[in-house]
Amino acid sequence: MTARLVVQRLGFLLLGLAALIVIAPILVVVAGIVVRGIGAISWEFLAGMPRSGMKEGGILPAIVGTLLLTLGTAVVAVPVGVGGAVYLSEYARDTAFTRAIRLAIVNLAGIPSIVYGLFGLGMFVLFLRFGTSILAGSLTLAIMTLPVVISTSEEALRAVPTEFRTVAASLGGTRWQGIRTVVLPQALPGIITGVLLGLLRAAGETAPILFTVAAFYLPQLPHSPLDQTMALPYHLYVISTQVPGMPPGVQNGTAFVLLALVLLLNFAAAWIRRHFRRRRPW
């Protein structure tokens, strides 16, 4: 074996090891939660109200709360985020103003989520008087999600070759017609992936909902956007650290449900990406 081959083998070995180091903790965490949590899953656990200080019963309000918050986040973040991305990618010229917007987006993505929580408290709960509510929580999560949605959508739009826009223009299309009929459809898989990844993060976050919506113990379903609600990540935090004597089955079951929800969204994103990539012409 020549020296070059030895180096190559060694290189592959190291790269494989690096990949293993990345994957191993994920596998361990997922496997651990699945093994311990799946036993706690029952119809009552998924569809029942919590009872006796959350030590018994189900976690339905937390599941519904998280689903509603994620939906609320999507309703706000998707139109604003995708609209912003279309503006930045298709309309905006490179000026000091747009550079400032881009800088702001990059910086927003780097802000710790607890800061979003405090902002939400000040802005939506107190100043706009939404109170601790699904509305305030969704808006807070939406603002946290926006940078992800905007930057991934913008990237997806920019990945569509310029020539498509030129062709649309040469056939008498206005800029918007070209975007609507040619650019957006081709950028859609990338946009959907970005949106799902952003929502994924929103669904799993605790800090932003801490002061804006999450209820410690509220064994009922919300009736209006101005109601408080329980939510899975916060519920998990509460039953793991705040309530002594919590049966481990409830904790592991809750973790399992949250994980399943997030993984489901993740697989959906991967599937959409794969499905559309096969149909992409270039």
Which of 164/237 has CB closer to another protein?
A: 164
116-127 burial code (b ≥16 CB/10 A, e <16) = bbbbbbebbbee
CA distance 259 to 50: 20
Smallest distance from another protein to CB 1, Å: 45
Smallest distance from another protein to CB 189, Å: 12
25 binds another protein (CB under 8 A): no
244 binds another protein (CB under 8 A): no
Class of residue 165 by CB neighbours under 10 A (exposed 0-12, middle 13-18, buried 19+): middle
Contacts to another protein from residues 82-101, by CB under 8 A: 93
Q: Quick one: DSSP state of residue 137?
A: H
Smallest distance from another protein to CB 191, Å: 15
From 62, 60, 138, 151, select the one nearest 104 (Cα to Cα). 151
266 binds another protein (CB under 8 A): no
Class of residue 108 by CB neighbours under 10 A (exposed 0-12, middle 13-18, buried 19+): middle
109 binds another protein (CB under 8 A): no
List the one residue from 172, 223, 224, 278 that touches another protein (CB under 8 A): 172
CA distance 103 to 87: 15
Structure tokens at 97: 């103003």
- Longest distance between any two alpha carbons in the chain, whole Å: 74
- Amino acid in the structure at residue 26: I
Smallest distance from another protein to CB 86, Å: 16
164 binds another protein (CB under 8 A): yes
Smallest distance from another protein to CB 83, Å: 21
Which of 187/232 has CB closer to another protein?
A: 187
Which of 131/173 has CB closer to another protein?
A: 173
Which of 177/220 has CB closer to another protein?
A: 177
Which of 102/165 has CB closer to another protein?
A: 165
| Phi and psi at residue 95, to the nearest 5° | -120, 175
8 binds another protein (CB under 8 A): no
158 binds another protein (CB under 8 A): no
Helices (H), 205-247: 207-210, 232-237
List the one residue from 8, 181, 220, 242 that touches another protein (CB under 8 A): 181
Q: Quick one: DSSP state of residue 51?
A: E
CA distance 177 to 188: 16
| Segment interacting with another protein, rule: CB under 8 A, options 27-35, 42-50, 162-170, 261-269 | 162-170
Residues that bind another protein (CB under 8 A): 93, 163-174, 177, 181-182, 185-186, 279, 281
